[in-house]
């Protein structure tokens, strides 16, 4: 039975640079890459080395502790490089496309006629399994586990986020096939979270799901916020989440028997000349996509993802595994004389500290400047305004800092991943690295309790 949830707590950051409903083909990338660093807690083991020829669907690496979980090439071509960091940590496996579009062959079948084991094995062999995330902890789903429920958010409320109805308007068949497949992976329900604007459209017409609507400011579109309302996580509960894009990939796999990781992303931000949507490939090199599209070649921050949870990349970097947008904003490294004393008509603040609060619909150009360093971490009640969950975030973060496992449990760490507290970090007057601390706590919980 569908329910409507109205969330009052949260905050919308009004940035300039939203993508217009214009779709273009991005230039064919010279290379694509998968980054093991996109997966918290993953210990990758290589399946290939430099100069190895691969097809789309061939394994590039796998999870050391769950070797059945493969990470496969989005394209056919040759492994160009395995880039490493400190202590030979694997950062990127880079593949140069050959333009032949050769694919590994997988099973073409109606998921409703397959068993759970057959669907699981197909997702594992094709490399689509890593799109399934497990709550608690926001880590790779374990193939041996049957989750209580699966939750999918059909909209993104983050700043300048892509419009999912525009992205997937022509993907109804693949979305439905994806739903039919993942439904076999749980004995519970598949929940689909919609915004009030999605009462009609591609997502509203999907079957074999229970739909619920979530109204309110960001983070209303976060799967974690939706889980807290429809199927709260206890200590022994397992919930899986995945994105609509993952559903499309899964649907295409079963409909065609091939791994098709072509996708549409939004190029957004105030430093982009004409923000719009681009057809590209999973893990694409950003150089060709950004060339000539930004206002400045220097003093700009390129982010794979959104401004709250995305990752800083260079122009020769690659699109993140789970990212549906690229955001480009000013770096903000110029000195602002007496900036603290200005009335701030053109400045934006979550605390309503500037006169810009008098213009509630105005959009702003924000940069990456933190405007100060880390300060004393005090109880102010500030975080609670931005988290629509029954959790005391400052108390939880302090319990993490002293590594108090029992307190972390009692204060709700099972319900959270980084994106759920990203607004708290944005609004924090103490400049605390909230998301980083939360991940440290999650790692402690995994190490202590498994």
pLDDT at 298 over 90: no
Higher pLDDT, 325 or 347: 325
pLDDT for residue 348: 57
342 Cβ neighbours under 8 A, 6+ residues apart: none
* Mean pLDDT confidence for 335-359: 50
pLDDT for residue 380: 74
Instruction: Summarize pLDDT for 389-425 with one digit per residue, the tens.
Output: 999 999 999 999 999 999 999 999 999 999 999 999 9
pLDDT for residue 159: 97
74 Cβ neighbours under 8 A, 6+ residues apart: 32, 34, 56, 95, 259, 261, 281, 282, 283
* Mean pLDDT confidence for 59-63: 98
pLDDT for residue 426: 94
Instruction: Give kind and range of the element (H or E) at residue 116.
Output: helix 116-126
DSSP letter assigned to residue 321: T
pLDDT at 336 over 70: no
Instruction: Summarize pLDDT for 173-188 with one digit per residue, the tens.
Output: 999 999 999 999 999 9
Using 50, 70 and 90 to split pLDDT, how confident is the model at 334? Answer: low
Using 50, 70 and 90 to split pLDDT, how confident is the model at 347? Answer: low
pLDDT for residue 165: 96
Higher pLDDT, 254 or 431: 254
pLDDT for residue 449: 80
| Residues 275 and 289: beta-carbon distance below 8 Å | no
Cα of 45 vs its chain's centroid, Å = 23
300 Cβ neighbours under 8 A, 6+ residues apart: 271, 294, 328, 329, 330, 331
The tokens describing 208, both together, are 């074999």
Could you give the CA distance from residue 294 to residue 105 in angstroms, rounded to a whole number? 39
346 prior amide bond cis, ω within 30: no
pLDDT for residue 226: 98
pLDDT at 249 over 90: yes
Candidates 131, 150, 134; CA nearest to 142 is 134
pLDDT at 344 over 60: no
Q: Which single residue is written with the structure tokens 């890593």?
A: 130
Instruction: Summarize pLDDT for 20-50 with one digit per residue, the tens.
Output: 999 999 999 999 999 999 999 999 999 999 9
Q: How are beta strands 239-241 and 149-153 bridged, if at all? A: parallel
pLDDT for residue 346: 53
Could you give the CA distance from residue 137 to residue 224 in angstroms, rounded to a whole number? 11
């Amino acid at each position: 039975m569908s329910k409507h949830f109205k969330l009052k707590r949260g905050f919308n950051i009004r940035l300039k640079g939203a993508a217009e409903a214009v779709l273009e083909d991005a230039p064919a990338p010279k290379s694509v890459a998968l980054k093991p660093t996109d997966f918290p807690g993953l210990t990758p083991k290589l399946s290939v080395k430099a100069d190895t020829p691969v097809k789309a669907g061939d394994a590039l690496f796998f999870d050391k502790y769950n070797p059945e979980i493969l990470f496969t090439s989005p394209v056919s071509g040759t492994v160009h490089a395995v880039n490493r960091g400190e202590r030979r940590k694997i950062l990127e496996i880079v593949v140069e496309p050959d333009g032949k579009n050769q694919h590994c062959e997988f099973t073409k079948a109606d998921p409703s006629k397959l068993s759970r084991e057959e669907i699981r094995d197909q997702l594992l062999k094709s490399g689509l399994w890593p799109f399934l995330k497990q709550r608690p902890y926001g880590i790779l789903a374990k193939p041996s586990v049957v989750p209580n429920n699966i939750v999918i958010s059909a909209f993104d409320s983050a700043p300048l986020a892509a419009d999912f109805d525009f992205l997937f308007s022509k993907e109804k068949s693949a979305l439905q096939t994806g739903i039919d497949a993942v439904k076999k992976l749980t004995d519970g329900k598949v929940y689909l979270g919609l915004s009030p604007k999605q009462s009609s459209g591609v997502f509203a017409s999907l079957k074999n799901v229970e739909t619920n609507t979530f109204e309110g400011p960001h983070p209303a579109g976060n799967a974690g916020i939706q889980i807290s309302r429809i199927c709260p996580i206890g200590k022994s509960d397992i919930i899986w989440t995945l994105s609509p894009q993952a559903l499309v990939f899964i649907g295409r796999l079963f409909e065609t028997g091939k791994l098709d990781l072509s996708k549409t992303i939004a190029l957004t931000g105030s430093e982009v000349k004409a923000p719009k949507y681009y057809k590209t490939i999973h893990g694409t090199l950003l150089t060709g996509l950004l060339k000539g599209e930004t206002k400045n070649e220097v003093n700009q921050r390129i982010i794979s993802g959104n401004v709250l949870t995305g990752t800083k990349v260079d122009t020769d970097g690659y699109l993140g595994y789970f990212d549906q947008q690229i955001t480009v904003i000013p770096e903000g490294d110029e000195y602002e004389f007496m900036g603290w004393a200005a009335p701030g008509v053109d400045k934006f603040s979550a605390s309503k500290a500037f006169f810009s609060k008098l213009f509630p619909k105005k959009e702003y150009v924000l940069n990456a400047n933190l405007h100060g360093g880390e300060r004393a971490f005090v109880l102010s009640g500030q975080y609670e305004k931005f988290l629509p969950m029954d959790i005391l975030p400052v108390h939880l973060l302090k319990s993490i800092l002293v590594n108090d496992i029992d307190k972390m449990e009692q204060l709700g760490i099972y319900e959270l991943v980084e994106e759920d507290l990203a607004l708290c970090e944005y609004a924090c007057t103490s400049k605390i690295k909230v998301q980083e601390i939360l991940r440290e706590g999650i790692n402690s919980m995994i190490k202590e309790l498994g």
